[in-house]
Structure 1
Amino acid sequence: MKKLLIVLAIIAVAVTGFMLRPAKPVDVRMGKASTGTVEALVSNTRSGTIKACNRSRLSLAQGGQVSRLYVAQGDKVAAGALLLELWNDDMKAALAQASAQVRMAELNKASACRQAEADQREARRQKELHKKNLASAEQLDRAETAAEITRLSCQQNDAQVSQANANVAVQQARLTQTQLTAPFAGIIAEVNGEIGEYATPSPPGVATPPAIDLIDDSCLYVRAPIDEVDAAVIRVGMPARVTLDAFRDQAFTGKVSRIAPYVEDSEKQARTVDVDVTLDNLPDDVRLLVGYSADIEVITAEAANTLRIPSEALLEGNHVLTLSDDGKTLKKQPLTLGLSNWTWTEIKAGLSDGQPVLISLDNPAAVDGARVKVLPDTPAAGNASAGNSASGSGQ
Structure 2
Amino acid sequence: MNKKLLLLCTLILIAASLGYYFNKGPERISVTQYKVTKGEVKASIANTRVGTVKACRRAYLAPSIGGNVAELYVKEGDKVKSQQLLLKVWNDDLTAQLKLRKAQIKADKASAKQACEIAQGSERDAHRLVRLKKYDRIISEEQLDRAATKARAARASCFAAQAAIEMARANFVMVNTAIERTLIRAPFDGTVAEINAELGEYVTPSPPGIPTLPPIDLLDLSCLYVSAPIDEVDAPQVKVGMSACVTLDAFAEKRCSGTVSRIAPYVLEKEKQARTVEVEVKLSDAKDLQELLPGYSADIEVLLSSKANALRVPTEAVLENNQVLVISADGLLEQRQFKPGLANWNFIEVVSGLVEGDALVLSIGREGVEAGAYVSVEE
For the residue of structure 2 that corresponds to 1:302, the secondary structure is strand
1:1-395 map, 5 Å: 19=22, 23=26, 28-120=31-123, 123-124=126-127, 126-127=129-130, 130=133, 132-134=134-136, 136=139, 138=141, 140-283=144-287, 286-322=290-326, 331-362=334-365, 374-375=377-378, 377=379
Cα displacement (A) at 1:144: 3.2
Cα displacement (A) at 1:292: 1.5
Give the 3 Å change call, closer, same or farther, for CA 331–269 of structure 1 in structure 2.
closer
CA contact (8 A) 2:283 2:289 kept: no
Of 280-289 and 89-98, deviating more is 280-289
Amino acid of the structure 2 residue aligned with 1:258: R
CA offset digits 1:285-319 (Å, max 9, x no partner): 82322212212112233333333222223233324
Give the 3 Å change call, closer, same or farther, for CA 305–114 of structure 1 in structure 2.
farther
* Aligned-residue identity in percent: 45
Q: Which blocks of at least 5 consecutive residues in structure 1 are unaligned?
A: 378-395
Cα displacement (A) at 1:164: 0.7
CA contact (8 A) 1:252 1:280 kept: no
For the residue of structure 2 that corresponds to 1:249, the secondary structure is coil
Amino acid of the structure 1 residue aligned with 2:83: G
For the residue of structure 1 that corresponds to 2:321, the secondary structure is coil
Amino acid of the structure 1 residue aligned with 2:165: V
CA contact (8 A) 2:230 2:278 kept: yes
Give the 3 Å change call, closer, same or farther, for CA 362–205 of structure 1 in structure 2.
closer
Give the 3 Å change call, closer, same or farther, for CA 285–266 of structure 1 in structure 2.
closer
Cα displacement (A) at 1:333: 4.5
Tell me how far apart the structure 1 counterparts of residues 258 and 75 of structure 2 sit (CA, whole Å).
33
Tell me how far apart the structure 1 counterparts of residues 289 and 186 of structure 2 sit (CA, whole Å).
28
Give the 3 Å change call, closer, same or farther, for CA 346–72 of structure 1 in structure 2.
same
Cα displacement (A) at 1:96: 0.6
CA contact (8 A) 2:257 2:288 kept: no
Tell me how far apart the structure 1 counterparts of residues 288 and 231 of structure 2 sit (CA, whole Å).
33
Tell me how far apart the structure 1 counterparts of residues 235 and 66 of structure 2 sit (CA, whole Å).
46
For the residue of structure 2 that corresponds to 1:290, the secondary structure is coil
Tell me how far apart the structure 2 counterparts of residues 195 and 323 of structure 1 sit (CA, whole Å).
75
Tell me how far apart the structure 2 counterparts of residues 363 and 94 of structure 1 sit (CA, whole Å).
83
Give the 3 Å change call, closer, same or farther, for CA 317–196 of structure 1 in structure 2.
closer
Tell me how far apart the structure 2 counterparts of residues 121 and 348 of structure 1 sit (CA, whole Å).
104
Of 153-162 and 258-267, deviating more is 258-267
TM-score by length of 1: 0.79
Tell me how far apart the structure 2 counterparts of residues 316 and 192 of structure 1 sit (CA, whole Å).
55
Cα displacement (A) at 1:216: 2.0
Amino acid of the structure 1 residue aligned with 2:115: A
Q: Which blocks of at least 5 consecutive residues in structure 2 are unaligned?
A: none
Give the 3 Å change call, closer, same or farther, for CA 347–145 of structure 1 in structure 2.
same
Tell me how far apart the structure 2 counterparts of residues 67 and 123 of structure 1 sit (CA, whole Å).
60
Tell me how far apart the structure 2 counterparts of residues 337 and 129 of structure 1 sit (CA, whole Å).
113
For the residue of structure 2 that corresponds to 1:289, the secondary structure is coil
Tell me how far apart the structure 1 counterparts of residues 113 and 83 of structure 2 sit (CA, whole Å).
35
For the residue of structure 2 that corresponds to 1:248, the secondary structure is coil
Give the 3 Å change call, closer, same or farther, for CA 328–62 of structure 1 in structure 2.
closer
Amino acid of the structure 2 residue aligned with 1:244: L
Tell me how far apart the structure 1 counterparts of residues 126 and 357 of structure 2 sit (CA, whole Å).
109
CA offset digits 1:59-100 (Å, max 9, x no partner): 233333322221112222222222222222221111110111
Tell me how far apart the structure 1 counterparts of residues 16 and 38 of structure 2 sit (CA, whole Å).
53
CA contact (8 A) 1:252 1:282 kept: no
Of 47-56 and 87-96, deviating more is 47-56
Tell me how far apart the structure 1 counterparts of residues 305 and 172 of structure 2 sit (CA, whole Å).
62
TM-score by length of 2: 0.82
For the residue of structure 2 that corresponds to 1:113, the secondary structure is helix
Cα displacement (A) at 1:36: 2.8
RMSD: 3.6
For the residue of structure 2 that corresponds to 1:287, the secondary structure is coil
For the residue of structure 2 that corresponds to 1:255, the secondary structure is strand
For the residue of structure 2 that corresponds to 1:308, the secondary structure is strand
Cα displacement (A) at 1:210: 1.7
Tell me how far apart the structure 1 counterparts of residues 154 and 67 of structure 2 sit (CA, whole Å).
48
For the residue of structure 1 that corresponds to 2:311, the secondary structure is strand
Give the 3 Å change call, closer, same or farther, for CA 106–32 of structure 1 in structure 2.
farther
Amino acid of the structure 2 residue aligned with 1:276: E
